[in-house]
Amino acid sequence: MQASDLSQILTRLEDNENNTTSFDESWSQGRSAFGGIATAFAVTGMRKLLQSNQPMRSLMVSFIAPVHPGEVRVEASIQRQGKNVTQMSADLICHDEVCLQAMGVFGNSRPALQVAPCSDFNPSPREQGLSFDEYLKRLPGFLSYFDGCWIDGGLPFSGNPSRQLNLWVRHKADMSKLPTERIVTIADIPPPVILSYFDKPPVPSSSLTWSLEFVVPPESVKADWFYLEFTVEAAADGYTQQSGKVFDETGQLCALSRQCMVYFA
């Protein structure tokens, strides 16, 4: 199985009549694939069924079982197609097992009331951050496919408890032809913010559910760099809830994220 960047892996899925592609161990974190790439598979599978270029508006994901390296298949279907909105579902299949289920909502733009996002954008410069390369020994290998740095807050396994995690990220691969998947994968990069409370790895953790809402059509976002602000809302009984905002480097709010995650301290 060939090692590939994200664009190549997703393009194979997009072009394959059987809705299959494959990925190798370099995209894994622990027992399973990076959740962002697993979710991107489902998004690509749903997009293939669209009859027009409707932007994705929201995404809901349930991570059911580990997604192991190798071949994966997407089974997508249209639940309802209206004049402006298409609602879809997708199952990610690996080794004949459903590993992930997703619901996606795609919708046309139309004249409507415009209310600007209520959000401040005042990030620290990338030059002041700690780069992924500098901290790579404590981070999953899939981050080698991204440029990024940790800024102001909850660095994983720092032993410096923080409710906030901020970082800058961009793809190393050219994702211009896959704008939705580009943001989906970026938005899932932050680990559980609760990991800043621990001194050293490993602390096994994973997402259980994830929702992502697009504030603007992904196709309209042209910037390379994204700034992520994530906050742990609560943590108890081995579960943690966190929310986040995804900005592009111009300060445009692109997406809102919320996750329920599990961790084993």
Backbone phi and psi for residue 117, each to the nearest 5 degrees, phi listed first: -60, 140
Q: How confident is the model at residue 3 (pLDDT cuts 50, 70, 90)?
A: low
Per-residue pLDDT of 121-178, as tens digits, reads 889 899 998 898 887 656 788 999 999 999 977 788 888 889 999 999 999 999 999 9
The two beta strands, 130-131 and 146-151, are antiparallel
Q: Are 57 and 106 in contact (CB under 8 A)?
A: yes
Calpha distance 154→259 (Å, rounded): 17
Per-residue pLDDT of 180-223, as tens digits, reads 999 999 999 999 999 888 888 788 888 999 999 999 999 999 99
The number of helix segments (H) and strand segments (E) in the chain equals 3, 14
pLDDT at 98 (0 to 100): 98
Token pair recorded at residue 171:
């793809």
Per-residue pLDDT of 233-245, as tens digits, reads 999 999 999 999 9
pLDDT at 247 (0 to 100): 97
Token pair recorded at residue 188:
């899932």
Q: How confident is the model at residue 1 (pLDDT cuts 50, 70, 90)?
A: very low
Token pair recorded at residue 34:
């990076």
Cβ burial, residue 208 (10 Å; 0-12/13-18/19+): middle
Reply yes or no on whether the pLDDT at 259 is more than 80. Answer: yes
Calpha distance 136→159 (Å, rounded): 17
For 6-108+126-263, which CATH superfamily applies? Acyl-CoA thioesterase, double hotdog domain (2.40.160.210)
Reply yes or no on whether the pLDDT at 68 is more than 90. Answer: yes
Q: How far is CA 220 from CA 81, 122, 257, in A?
A: 23, 22, 19
pLDDT at 107 (0 to 100): 96
Reply yes or no on whether the pLDDT at 52 is more than 60. Answer: yes
Token pair recorded at residue 213:
């809402």
Mean pLDDT, the chain, whole residue set: 92
